[in-house]
Amino acid sequence: MLFTHLGHAPTIDPDAWVAPTATVCGNVHIGPGCRVMHGAQIIAEGSRIDLGECVIVLENAVLRSTADHALTIGKHCLVGPGAHVVGCTVADDVFIATGASVFHGARLGQGCEVRINAVVHLRTSLPPGETVPIGWVAVGDPLRILPPDQHDAIWAAQAPLDFPKFVYGFERAEVSMAKITRKLSASLGSHRDDAPVSPPE
């Protein structure tokens, strides 16, 4: 299904294909040769989403932008089933595997691989050709790639990236789930006015 959001309708190249059970909403631009498979969700929450040529988005992947963080995926990229990719920049020829997560402000260089269930944290840059192993976490600047059992080291690198401020606009000392959910409730309430649009012929 295609939906308008905040006055924007998706644009889909005639050579692309979006499964009828996928959802594409708002300021989303899907390039030639793209394939968006069943159950995938591509939701532009204010900023634009751009998929380049031959981007493959497999089943149940979630791609999102936010008001402050656009999402750009270059050409010849694959986003695996159940992956979560939000508000980041992905260069050409990148593989984001099943269940992987890439967060706000991250930058993935050409030819990177983010393997099964791996994480690229916010504001983290992967140089071209970098690989994040299965289940590992890429975090920080300078970049560190750590196994999931090294929580203290991950947190030490992640804390200065300031997730509450960068994503939600709250200082860590003042943030609460009540503040976050109220802000998200107000923002996501704009979807009440979304309207279905006819897919391209």
Instruction: Tell me the CATH architecture of domain 2-197.
Output: 3 Solenoid (2.160)
Summarize pLDDT for 140-160 with one digit per residue, the tens.
Answer: 888 999 999 999 999 999 999
CA distance 135 to 116: 6
Summarize pLDDT for 172-191 with one digit per residue, the tens.
Answer: 889 999 999 999 999 999 99
Q: Is the pLDDT of residue 30 over 60?
A: yes
Summarize pLDDT for 38-89 with one digit per residue, the tens.
Answer: 999 999 998 999 999 999 999 999 999 999 999 999 999 999 999 999 999 9
Q: Is the pLDDT of residue 90 over 70?
A: yes
Share of the chain above pLDDT 70, in %: 99
CB 67 within 8 A of CB 48: no
- DSSP-derived 3-state class of residue 42: strand
Residue 58 tokens read as: 């497999």
Single pTM value for the model: 0.94
In this predicted model, which residue has the larger pLDDT, 198 or 153? 153
CA 38, distance to chain mean position in Å, is: 17
CA distance 25 to 90: 20
The CA–CA distances, whole Å, from 174 to 21, 23, 133, 165, 168 equal 40, 35, 35, 10, 12
Ranges of each domain in the chain:
2-197
Give bridge partners of residue 43 from the DSSP assignment. Answer: 25, 64
Q: Which residue has the tokens 């190249």?
A: 13
190 phi-psi bin (left φ>0, alpha ψ -120 to 50, beta other): alpha
CA distance 133 to 110: 17
- DSSP-derived 3-state class of residue 56: strand
Q: What was the pLDDT predicted at 184?
A: 92
Summarize pLDDT for 65-79 with one digit per residue, the tens.
Answer: 999 999 999 999 999
